């Protein structure tokens, strides 16, 4: 994927004047507003709460004034706009009880409570199905992901160096106090970022996408099935937990790369979650129509605000004008079934790992949920098949087929 060179060495901190909310589509919330338009909110103040799971809380990504807050149909979507205001102080959490639990490694109630009230609980993601875990759930294993092999992604090492490394260690300590299971720290082939201990073990990923995805690791190392219960969280979010435990407020920024062929200059910035992508990109775009994706070029979506779990922004050239196809070609295209997938070595690589990938793709394509689950579909999320979709230009997309399959299995359980 081309991007203007050189790749930046320095990271600039940018807090955009506006911020919003772009939730992960897998987070299924029935929202309840806790603030009104016009209210002042500090960084970390609760803004939205789920009606069925009161432990799922969305907090303010920056200090400022709420300009707009509308709940969409069925209270499933929120349209949030916050204007930045430096004068409002960040929300302070009471961390003493949680800190004591973390240091003494006994009990986890206050720690759990703190993570849920600060909204950091929403950064966790569980497999199978990729939902935010329920407030009292316990995982069999936690994966801390400190590697990102997506095209043009920032190096997660930059996000956890210096002071953030101490926060990362504190965050890992907190995770170890919270849960009993093993913690796998998934990183690149370079020197170890954290020391191994009896609870934390390091797993390594190769440099080529999709090796850095949690799904690749799980399919390689873990037997998948209905009883699979693995939570994943990025190393930067773990460092945010450590930041919260040492400072008493939420970390204000995350590391984001702004790259792509539609720019004049590639940038690495630290910006708030939910940052305004237009402000991040407009001054650096090359002339011509462009589209701004939140996320990588493989699975990103056009968006106004930075996505919930996204750590990169991709600017592409926009091709809106499609020439009118010949009427016979158009009729054939509409009437015909989609073209089959030819198993070339590109598809083999995109599936990653030693699993019988083409068998899985066939099971997904014909809607055979049982075979798909046997072949490891439960360990996968959309991002794991995004590269297959890119390589084969498949229609319908395998990511959609996988989600439909997972939804059917989830509805049965």
Which of 70, 196, 339, 410 lies at the binding interface for other proteins (CB under 8 A)?
339
Q: Which is nearer to other proteins, 11 or 359 (CB)?
A: 359
Q: How far apart are CA 182 and CA 198, in angstroms?
A: 8
Q: Which is nearer to other proteins, 235 or 388 (CB)?
A: 388
Torsion of Cα atoms, 40 then 37 then 255 then 133, to 10°: 110
Q: Which stretch binds other proteins (CB under 8 A): 50-58, 106-114, 262-270, 335-343?
A: 335-343
Which of 188, 232, 299, 382 lies at the binding interface for other proteins (CB under 8 A)?
299
Give DSSP secondary structure letters for 193-240: SS---SSEEEEE--SSTTTTSHHHHHHHHS--STT--EEEEEHHHHHH
87 near other proteins, rule: CB under 8 A? no
Q: Which stretch binds other proteins (CB under 8 A): 77-85, 233-241, 276-284, 292-300?
A: 292-300
Q: Which stretch binds other proteins (CB under 8 A): 50-58, 200-208, 251-259, 298-306?
A: 298-306
392 near other proteins, rule: CB under 8 A? yes
286 in Cβ contact with 318 (< 8 Å): no
Pairing label, strands 230-234, 141-145: parallel
* Range 104-133, binding other proteins (CB under 8 A): none
Residue 77: CB atoms within 10 A of its CB come to 15
Q: How far is CA 89 from CA 14, 65, 203, 252, in A?
A: 18, 12, 40, 12
Which of 12, 331, 366, 396 lies at the binding interface for other proteins (CB under 8 A)?
331
Which of 347, 377, 378, 406 lies at the binding interface for other proteins (CB under 8 A)?
347
5 near other proteins, rule: CB under 8 A? no
Q: Which stretch binds other proteins (CB under 8 A): 76-84, 154-162, 271-279, 299-307?
A: 299-307
391 near other proteins, rule: CB under 8 A? yes
144 in Cβ contact with 238 (< 8 Å): yes
Angle at 317 between CA 315 and CA 319, to 5 degrees: 135
Q: How many residues bind other proteins (CB under 8 A)?
A: 37
Which of 389, 398, 403, 406 lies at the binding interface for other proteins (CB under 8 A)?
389
Which of 247, 374, 400, 404 lies at the binding interface for other proteins (CB under 8 A)?
374
Q: Which stretch binds other proteins (CB under 8 A): 7-15, 25-33, 166-174, 291-299?
A: 291-299
CB of 393 to other proteins, least distance (A): 4
Q: Which is nearer to other proteins, 35 or 222 (CB)?
A: 222
Q: How far apart are CA 10 and CA 267, in angstroms?
A: 9
Q: Which stretch binds other proteins (CB under 8 A): 94-102, 139-147, 167-175, 336-344?
A: 336-344
Long-range CB contacts for residues 97-103, cutoff 8 Å, separation at least 24: 98/174, 98/245, 99/245, 101/177, 102/170, 102/173, 102/174, 102/177, 102/245
318 near other proteins, rule: CB under 8 A? no
> Residue 288: CA atoms inside 13 Å, Cβ hemisphere, count?
11
Q: Which stretch binds other proteins (CB under 8 A): 52-60, 89-97, 107-115, 387-395?
A: 387-395
Q: How far is CA 87 from CA 64, 65, 84, 90, in A?
A: 8, 10, 9, 9
67 near other proteins, rule: CB under 8 A? no
CB of 262 to other proteins, least distance (A): 12
293 near other proteins, rule: CB under 8 A? yes
274 in Cβ contact with 61 (< 8 Å): yes
* Range 205-244, binding other proteins (CB under 8 A): 222-223
- The token pair at 127 is 């497999």
CB of 322 to other proteins, least distance (A): 13
283 in Cβ contact with 227 (< 8 Å): no
Q: How far apart are CA 360 and CA 351, in angstroms?
A: 10
38 near other proteins, rule: CB under 8 A? no
Q: Which stretch binds other proteins (CB under 8 A): 29-37, 60-68, 341-349, 377-385?
A: 341-349
Q: How far apart are CA 272 and CA 159, in angstroms?
A: 13
Q: Which is nearer to other proteins, 283 or 393 (CB)?
A: 393
300 near other proteins, rule: CB under 8 A? yes
Q: How far apart are CA 412 and CA 408, in angstroms?
A: 6
C-alpha 240: how far from its chain's center? 15
The site for other proteins (CB under 8 A) is made up of: 222-223, 293, 297-301, 316, 331-333, 335-337, 339-347, 354-356, 358-359, 374-375, 389-394
């Amino acid at each position: 994927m081309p991007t203007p060179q050189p790749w930046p060495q320095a990271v600039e901190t940018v807090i955009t004047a506006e911020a919003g909310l772009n939730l992960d589509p897998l987070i299924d919330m029935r929202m309840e507003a806790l603030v009104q338009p016009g209210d002042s909110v500090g960084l970390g103040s609760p803004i939205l709460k789920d009606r069925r799971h009161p432990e799922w809380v969305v907090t303010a990504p920056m200090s400022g004034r709420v300009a707009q807050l509308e709940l969409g149909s069925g209270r499933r979507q929120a349209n949030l706009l916050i204007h930045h205001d430096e004068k409002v102080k960040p929300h302070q959490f009471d961390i003493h009880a949680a800190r004591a639990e973390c240091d003494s490694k006994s009990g986890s109630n206050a720690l759990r409570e703190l993570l849920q009230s600060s909204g950091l609980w929403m950064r966790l993601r569980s497999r199978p199905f990729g939902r935010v875990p329920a407030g009292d759930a316990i995982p069999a294993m936690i994966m801390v992901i400190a590697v990102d092999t997506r095209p043009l992604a920032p190096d997660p090492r930059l996000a956890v160096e210096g002071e953030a490394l101490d926060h990362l260690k504190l965050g890992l300590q907190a995770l170890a106090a919270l849960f009993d299971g093993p913690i796998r720290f998934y990183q690149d082939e370079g020197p170890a970022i954290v020391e191994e201990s009896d609870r934390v073990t390091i797993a390594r990923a190769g440099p080529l996408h999709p090796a850095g995805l949690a799904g690749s690791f799980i399919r390689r190392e873990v037997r998948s099935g209905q009883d699979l219960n693995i939570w994943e969280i990025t190393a930067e979010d773990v460092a945010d937990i450590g930041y919260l435990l040492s400072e008493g407020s939420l970390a204000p920024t995350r590391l984001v790369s702004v790259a792509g062929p539609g720019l004049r200059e590639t940038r690495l910035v630290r910006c708030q979650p939910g940052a305004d992508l237009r402000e991040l990109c407009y001054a650096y775009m090359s002339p011509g129509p462009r589209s701004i994706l939140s996320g990588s070029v493989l699975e990103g979506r056009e968006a106004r605000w930075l996505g919930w779990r996204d750590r990169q922004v991709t600017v592409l050239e926009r091709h809106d004008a499609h020439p009118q196809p010949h009427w016979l070609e158009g009729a054939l295209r509409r009437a015909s079934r989609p073209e089959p997938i030819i198993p070339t070595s590109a598809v083999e690589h995109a599936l990653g790992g030693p699993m019988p990938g083409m068998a899985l793709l066939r099971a997904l394509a014909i809607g055979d949920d049982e075979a798909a689950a046997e072949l490891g579909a439960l360990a996968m999320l959309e991002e794991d098949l995004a590269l297959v979709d890119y390589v084969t230009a498949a229609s319908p997309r395998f990511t959609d087929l996988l989600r439909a399959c997972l939804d059917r299995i989830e509805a049965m359980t």
